[in-house]
Every structure is written in C-alpha cells, then in structure tokens.
Amino acid sequence: MTHADLVFTGGPVFTADTVRSRTIAVAVSGGRIVRVGAGVEELIGPRTEVVDLAGRMLVPGFQDAHVHPVWGGLDMLRCDLAPYGTAREYLDAIAAYAAANEDEWVLGGGWAMSAFPGGTPSAADLDRVVPDRPAFLTNRDGHGAWVNSVALRLAGIDRDTPDPADGRIERDADGIPTGTLHEGAMALVNTLFPPESVERLTEALLTGQRYLHSFGITAWQDAIVGSYGDAGDPGPAYLAAAAAGTLTARVVGAIWWDRGRGLEQIPSIVERRQQYRGGRFAATSVKVMQDGVAENFTAAMLEPYGDGHGHPTDNSGISFVDPAILNEAVPQLDALGFQVHFHAIGDRAVRQCLDAVEHAIAANGRGDNRHHIAHIQVVHPDDIPRFRTLGVAANMQSLWATLEPQMVDLTLPFLGEPRGAWQYPFGDLLRSGAVLAAGSDWSVSSPDPLAAIHTAVNRTAAPGYEEGDYDPFLPEQSIDLASSLTAYTAGSAWVNHLDADTGTIEVGKFADVALLDRDPFAGPADEIGATRVLQTFVEGERVYAASDA
C-alpha cells in the first residue's frame, strides 16, 4: 500500500461538492486528494504528515474571481493608505511617506471617499504635505485620484481643460480644478509617471500573493491584465514569476479591453492570449469595464441620478463602451473562445452586458466560455432571471453589500427609490438559479473571503470592518453560509475553468485547501467574520501558516 504524503483528520471538512457534503478526513498524495472520509487512517505511514484539525474546519482553497494582486501588492510597497480612515490620518501617512522616500513622484492609494466632503479631497490639503513634487493617490475603488497642484500643473490641467469623454475633473464654482480626478480624467496625469520595471511589478505580485495566501486564497482571476491606471501591465510579472517557479497560485488573467479603441484591437488580444501563458498562469478572459461607480455618478443607470433631495438631474452615468460596439465585440470574442469578464455597477450597464451575451448566443450558439458580470450593484428586477437564462455568472463582491458611510452619504441619496432597494440582489439571483461566484476587488477592499461571506449571510459588516452602528442592509437579499462558501470556492473555480481540478474536496482533485480556526457553521451567524485562516495549501504544499497554527 502506498502511504499518503499528507493527511487531515479530526475535524469537519466542507467539501463544496454538489450536495455540499461534510466529512472528517482527507488524504493527499502527489499533490492530489486520494481519499476522503472513512479509511484515511490506513494511508498514514512513517513519512506522512498528519494535520490534526482538532475540530476546526477544512475547506477548499478560496478562489477570488475578481482581484488585482499586482496592483494591490504595489500599493503595499507605495504609500499605502488602506489601513487608515480619516483625512487627518491620510495626510499624516502621506507626509511620513514623502519624508522617507525621495522618488520623483509620491504614488499610492487606498483612501475612502467617505472621509472627505462629497467624496472629493482637495489639492490644497495635499499641497501642505507634498508641496515640492507631484503626488497622485488613487482612492480605494480605483475610479478616482487625489492629486496635488504640482501634478495638475505638470499635466496642464486648468479651468480650460475639457473633461475627457470617459471621466470628469472635479472643479469649484469658478471651474478651477480642485484636486480630484474621476475615471478617464486620471489618465491626464498617470500617463506622466515613469514606468514600473518588470522586477518591481514581480516584487509586487509576490507581495500580493503572500497576502492572498494568508486568507486561504489559492487561485484567482486578475481582473485587468494590460496597461490601465497607474501601475503598469501585470502580465509580464506573472510570466516572470511562473518562469522562476515562484507563482504558487493558479491565475486566470482578464486581458484589458481598451475602451478608447474598437474591434480592431481583437487581433492583439488574441496575440496576448498566446503570449500570456506559463506555469499556473493563463490569460484566457477579456475584461470589459462597461461603466464607473455610483459614488462619483459614473455608473451607468437606466434613469438619471437624483440630486440628493429627490429631484432628477441630467446625468445617468457613462457607458464606457458603446453598446453597438459591445454587441459586435462580445460575439466575436465568444467565437474566439474568450470568456468575457464584465464590470457593471449600474442597472443600465448590467443590462447592456446581458444584451451583449444574448447577441453572442444568437450568433454562435451556447458555448462554455462562462461569461460573468462582476459587482452587480444595481440590477433591475427584470434582469435578474436573465443571468440564469443566458448562463452568465453573477460575480459578487459581497463585502460591499452593507450600510456604511459611503453607502449612506454618497450612494443611497442619489439613487433614490426604488433603485436603492435593487442593490446587491444576491438572494434573488440565487433563488433565480444563477451561478454565483465571488471575489474581493482587492485592493479596492479587503481580500478576506470570510469577511465577505459574513456580509453575504448577515448583510452587515464583519467584526473589525464596522464603520458605525447600522442595521442589516436589505436583509431579504442575504444568502446562507453554505451557498456563500460554495460561491467563493466551487463557483469561482467554475468561472475560472478550474473546476475539473479544484474548487471542491473530492478524490482526484488538487489538494488546494485552507484550514480555518473554527467551524463557522457551529457558531452564531454574526461571528462568521471572526473566523481566521490558519494554514493554506496548494497541491498539498503549505504556502501559508499563521504563527499560532
């Protein structure tokens, strides 16, 4: 008898298989699961590593279906504002970083819109701590940037500078730019940066990978592989890490659809799919960002935003890709075997993405490309059943489905009713029969799957993530713990086309698993988010262990 290399025993195992079964033991040999449940003990030999679960739960490795690890890692290497929450804290952190670093630019990000009146920080405030060189700091969602006066001057941005078609320059009553750039307006400045080297981006990738492994994440879909924003193309970093054998995660890359171009870019996307493949990395998806975000009124809505006092405005957001082009592009990409990974926040954007998939089905028939729409913040009720009908997965960023200052102050007043009640309709999507996947959008928000799962179940913030005392947000849209865990494991594995080998704990699959510090099913629902990951394994190799594991 061949002994196992690794055995987990002595605690509950959530398999995430089709019946969401639970078992008590798992044996691993050669990186794959060779036995589940009874009889595992007979595979224990003198060289077998035995991990005593001690009543704690083993789960499939989490898979983040929408994340930016290279950019998140780069944020950690730059001026990282994510740990802070007030304007004063941000300015103190920027001042300390600027004093300690002599770089030509002060770069970083992670500030929250809710920390500033109207969600828009000023260049004047930033000038007080960085007066002598350009500064550019993106907000947490990556859809806006805070710049100082030096950066505005370098870019030639003044009262006469027109807003780009896909963005907006925040201005005062006299039309003078105030220091916040929304969406495409960021490119007026970030194209001036010195480029990051492949070595620096690879360092950022490995920094991000370590961080994601600490949350039990063993695979992900990088939601933008291409030249976008202020951090450079992550693709070469993945290839470098894969060649060096340091890429331990499984990664699907979503190649950026340049919204400033049209169908002529498709041949170059095909070329990059061929180029961006190595080790555990393959860029087989295409990212289409169809709109912006609701907080800066660039999410594409079917009806105009309100003015915060119940009156309609003349703004209904931006569709970054003309629907006529989208309805041609998606069928062509689908015919070429690409998965399309859509960003859609507003109800108009969601509908346009579903319409494009409908055109693809009409042109090509039903394939197995597994298109998915990420974020799905505002979904018109008429479009809920279309996810199931069209076979489009709902890619949830569950952590956002809660009341907090940004939602209360910058979103709900401007959406109004009934749209405010159409947000993050996970329960309706689950009941409709849609496939649910899950992700974090880190570094927009924490990559902690258990915090997101907590919110999906409770519709409140997880412990440590609270920003005030709020009631559950649309609790009728909550989903049960098993469904949320399955979305973050088997659901995302399905979206990533990794379900044949990962996503569940079954014989024959890779031993990509995570050990939790408890059985979250055994305690009250409002303690799910307190669960921590103790160890993470990829193909039976330990890639993370907590100090108290």
pLDDT tens for residues 14-24? Answer: 999 989 889 99
Cβ-count burial 101-136 (b if 16+ within 10 Å, e if not): eeeebbbbbbbbbbbbeebbbbbebbeebbeeebbb
Query: What is the signed CA dihedral for 295, 299, 303, 304, rounded to 10 degrees?
Result: 50
What's the rounded Cα separation, in Å, for the pair 320 and 265? 16
Quote the pLDDT of residue 194. Answer: 85
Place of tokens 């400045």: 189
Specify which residues 138 forms β-bridges with. 109, 145
Q: Are 344 and 291 in contact (CB under 8 A)?
A: yes
Query: In the chain, what are the domains?
Result: 6-61+505-545 (2.30.40.10), 69-190 (3.10.310.70), 198-449+482-495 (3.20.20.140)
Q: Is residue 166 very low, low, confident or very high in pLDDT (cuts 50, 70, 90)?
A: confident
User: Which strand (E) or helix (H) includes residue 285?
Assistant: strand 281-289
467 or 462, which is more confident: 462
- Do 450 and 529 contact (CB within 8 A), yes or no? yes
Beta strands in 359-467 (DSSP E): 372-375, 393-396, 436-438
The pTM score is: 0.91
Summarize the confidence of residues 288-311 as an average pLDDT.
Answer: 95
Please count the residues of the chain: 549
For the chain, the C-alpha Rg in angstroms (whole number) is 23
Confidence of residue 548 (pLDDT cuts 50, 70, 90): confident
> What whole-number distance in Å separates Cα of residue 41 and Cα of residue 39?
5
Beta bridge partners of 59: 514
Cα dihedral 256, 260, 261, 262 in deg (nearest 10):
90
Are the C-beta atoms of residues 386 and 429 closer than 8 Å to each other? no
* Per-residue pLDDT reduced to its tens digit, 27-85: 999 999 999 998 999 999 999 999 999 999 999 999 999 999 999 999 899 999 989 98
- Give, in order, the Cα–Cα distances in Å from 345 to each of 375, 377, 397, 495: 6, 5, 11, 19
pLDDT reported for residue 140: 83
256 pLDDT higher than 90: yes
The fraction of the chain above a pLDDT of 90, given in percent, is 89
Q: Is the Cβ–Cβ distance between 170 and 182 less than 8 Å?
A: yes
